[in-house]
A and B are shown apart, each in its own frame.
Chain A
Amino acid sequence: DTAVSQTPKYLVTQMGNDKSIKCEQNLGHDTMYWYKQDSKKFLKIMFSYNNKELIINETVPNRFSPKSPDKAHLNLHINSLELGDSAVYFCASSQTNPLGNSPLHFGNGTRLTVT
């Protein structure tokens, strides 16, 4: 059983297209995230949702729109794709607790290539 699963694993598309990446977690966690990993392996937070509510929105272009239909799912829709959007996108989840500091559980990533 995959704890955090995201689809598709690979996504190749042309500039200007719109695409979506789906993520589901079966860990019962209440918080989900999207991270972007660039070609130099740098991991940067994009969004975070807690119980379907957006709680963190870093400086990400408006072309990126996350949607959380329930606390087990967090999808990422990207409009008007650009070459610079090429990266690996990771979904992650965690369970908040009074002390914070909950470990993140990552999916295996979606490699997006924009041509």
Chain B
Amino acid sequence: GENVEQHPSTLSVQEGDSAVIKCTYSDSASNYFPWYKQELGKGPQLIIDIRSNVGEKKDQRIAVTLNKTAKHFSLHITETQPEDSAVYFCAASKGSGYSTLTFGKGTMLLVSP
């Protein structure tokens, strides 16, 4: 089955800095890669996703890049703010029929003022 590795497990940055979280996946058939943000006491929320026919996608301060050849994808957050502090999860799926998401183990991002 699919295996998703996520690094780093914790990331501390100063407000205004950029943050990068990286994930690798094992199944070359995977073609859908969402990122979720989980705040304390809440469920994960989708913040951005990318499909395998696209190499990069951007939404304001958040961007995701995908390298299908190397089987890795990354989340980039620019101009970080304290409210970006949360646990971030990457995930991958084959996206056909009832395929399910396989999640990475999460990255705890702490943005200090």
Same assembly: yes
The interface of chain A, by Cβ under 8 A from chain B, is 4, 31, 33, 40-45, 48, 50, 55-56, 90, 92, 96, 99-101, 103-109
Which residue in A45, A50, A103, A106 is a CB contact (below 8 Å) of B43?
Answer: A106
Check A103 against B42 for contact (C-beta < 8 Å).
no
Check A99 against B43 for contact (C-beta < 8 Å).
no
Q: Given A42-B106, A106-B45, answer yes or no on A100-B94 (Cβ-Cβ < 8 Å).
A: yes
In the complex formed, the residue of A with least CB distance to B103 is A43
The 10 A-B residue pairs with the shortest CB-CB distance in the complex, in nearest-first order: A106-B43, A101-B95, A101-B32, A100-B95, A43-B103, A41-B106, A103-B46, A100-B96, A55-B98, A108-B43
In the complex formed, the residue of A with least CB distance to B93 is A101
Total residues of chain B contacting the partner, CB 8 A: 28
Q: Return chain B residues, CB-CB under 8 Å to A109.
A: 41-43
A56-B98, A99-B96, A100-B96 given; 13 more Cβ-contact pairs under 8 Å: A41-B108, A45-B100, A90-B44, A92-B43, A100-B93, A100-B97, A101-B32, A101-B51, A101-B93, A103-B34, A103-B49, A104-B46, A106-B43
